[in-house]
A and B are shown apart, each in its own frame.
Chain A
Amino acid sequence: MLESIPVTPADPHRAIDAVWRIEAPRLIAGLTRIVRDVALAEDLAQDALVAAVEQWPESGVPDNPGAWLMATARHRAIDRVRRNQRLERKQEQLGRELELQQEMAMADLGVPTDDDVGDDLLRLMFISCHPILAPEARVALTLRLLASLTTEEIARAYLVPVATIAQRIVRAKRTLTEARVPFEVPRGPELTARLSSVLQVIYLVFNEGYAATAGDDLMRAGLCEDALRLGRILAGLAPKEPEVHGLVALMEIQASRSRARVGPSGEIVLLLDQDRGRWDSLHISRGLAALERAEKLGGALGPYALQAAIAACHARARTAVDTDWARIVALYDALAQLMPSPVVELNRAVAVGMAFGPGAGLALVDALASERSLKTYHFLPSARGDLLEKLGRTVEARAEFERAAALTQNGRERDLLLARAAACARGTS
């Protein structure tokens, strides 16, 4: 055994936190398999954590902390069943204890293999992202169970009161218990729908963090890392699913730009104006590798892989001028077929404007002007303003930038749009 030498820094609780962050998802997943209930499994895992906090500062972190936590949690499980049994000797509970003991005995038969642990983790992801839960509940539960964030950390990241998140998590677990959602990896056609829910949750987390990287809130920006970590874990658990690699690729490539998209005084720098030297080359190469894995798995690319392929066109271009806009248009064509939406059409129109001239782009943007779902979407007037400006119609462009500025919720984006409007005004004077 390795001695824990006291010179090792500081607070033992922080060391326990670190172990917890690594071990908790596997622990909760393994316990859920045994007790068939996420809420109970998490309670048991928390009991084990409390025991660790009590004992480890004295005894040192055990040699195999994961096994220690699991053994402790199992003992608590048996204790709880016995205690309940004393309180109300119901036949049902007696049966449950026998069942539980059998499961424990079964679970004791062998050390779980990496595959077993992986299967449990994957099941836990599917259950946390179950469509029976509202999207924000899926997000909170996933961050809590699979990214090991505390309720306080989640609340801070989402700028909501701790009580709100706590309640969201409690309700989500109750819903899962009441609906007796099975702890399983769905098969067949259900798998596609359920997997897309898992991917959506991870991407929601990423986007929440990405929106915040333009600010100075590190806790929120940390959500990008959490999402990437979850994505990489999922890619290891479901390596044959091209969309999982597609999502990882998309997140890696977007994350590569996080430093370049903010200027020295905190202002937003648009993609084509970014200093590409500030793009994170490690993220880019990891993203391109993930995209290649998605492509090699064969078949038509899914929505995430297509978006990653578009992001990759930018990542591969040495300068903004080198961007392969014709390919981006083709990729948007494919994306629009797969998930037709006015937002995709708008992005496609912008790409057309870059590939075939602002006039062609403007015609497409104008065709979208009557879309009700885009009425309050600031990107429509801002894209239109950009195309008008390129056509030299600066008076109209200015009005569009001002309209966009009035629509955006993001203060930094508003500054940028007003600056562009002002530049148009100067151009005309």
Chain B
Amino acid sequence: MRFLLYTVDGDAPSAPPSPQMMDEVGKFTEETKRSGILLATGGLAPASTRVRTSGGKVAVTDGPFTETKELTGGFALIEVKSKEEAIEWAKRFRKIVGDGESVIQEVFGG
């Protein structure tokens, strides 16, 4: 089973990650690779742009968007045995990065 793990911005303005945390995150990424579950990962730029269609018209808007949570930080695509295993990996990630929120969604196809 494949899952997409990503972080969304929290309610509090997020401080830039410390070098120590970046180091920990790097170790965690290594750990997921060694465990054979990591298929793809990447960091995400803070700025996002929306492309929206409505009534056949396309509107392009630059963020930030205050009304919804935005995907921030980074993402990981993992292949694991169960949703519980994905949750366990997400918990381990959260222990490193501190307060905030990660989202797990199963990915179909490919």
Interface residues of A (CB under 8 A from B): 2, 8-9, 14-15, 17-19, 21-22, 63, 114, 118, 222, 225, 228-233, 236-237, 259, 280-283, 286
Contacts and interface: CB of A to CB of B under 8 A. Distances in A.
Contacts of A15: 84, 87-88
A15 B82 CA distance: 10
Contacts of A19: 88
Interface stretch (B10-18, B35-43, B46-54, B66-74): B35-43
Given A2-B94, A14-B82, A18-B88, A282 B40 contact: yes
Pick the most buried of B33, B81, B85, B91: most chain A CB atoms within 10 A of its CB. Answer: B81
A229 B40 CA distance: 14
B81 A21 contact: yes
Nearest to A284: B110
A236 B87 contact: no
16 contacts: A2-B95, A14-B82, A18-B81, A18-B88, A22-B35, A22-B89, A225-B79, A225-B81, A228-B36, A228-B79, A229-B79, A233-B35, A236-B34, A236-B36, A281-B110, A282-B77
B109 interface: yes
A228 B38 CA distance: 11
For chain B, the bracket of interface size reads 20 to 34
B40 A21 contact: no
A232 B88 contact: no
A230 B88 CA distance: 19
Given A2-B94, A282-B110, A230 B85 contact: no
B36 A231 contact: yes
Nearest to A10: B84
Pick the most buried of A2, A18, A19: most chain B CB atoms within 10 A of its CB. Answer: A18
A8 B33 contact: no
**Interface of chain A, main secondary structure:** helix
Contacts of B34: 114, 118, 233, 236-237
A19 B82 CA distance: 11
Contacts of B95: 2, 63
Contact of B91 (A2, A21, A236, A259): A2
Interface string B61-104: 00000000000000001010110110111010011000000000
Contacts of B81: 18, 21, 222, 225
A372 to B, nearest CB: 40
A230 B84 contact: no
A295 B12 CA distance: 49
Report, nearest first, the 5 A-B pairs whose CB atoms are least far apart: A232-B36, A18-B84, A229-B36, A280-B110, A18-B85
Nearest to B82: A18
Contacts of A236: 33-34, 36
A47 to B, nearest CB: 21
B36 A230 contact: yes
B108 to A, nearest CB: 10
A231 B35 CA distance: 10
Nearest to B31: A114
A9 B91 CA distance: 13
A283 B87 CA distance: 23
Contacts of B109: 259, 280
A233 B36 CA distance: 5
B56 to A, nearest CB: 27
A8 B102 CA distance: 13
A233 B21 CA distance: 25
B68 to A, nearest CB: 22
A61 B109 CA distance: 32
Contact of A229 (B37, B89, B91, B110): B37
Pick the most buried of B30, B34, B84: most chain A CB atoms within 10 A of its CB. Answer: B84
A232 B35 CA distance: 8
Contacts of A222: 81
Contacts of B79: 225, 228-229
A286 B77 CA distance: 13
A8 B87 contact: yes
B3 to A, nearest CB: 12
A416 B94 CA distance: 50
Nearest to B38: A232
Given A2-B95, A229-B79, A281-B110, A17 B40 contact: no
B13 to A, nearest CB: 22
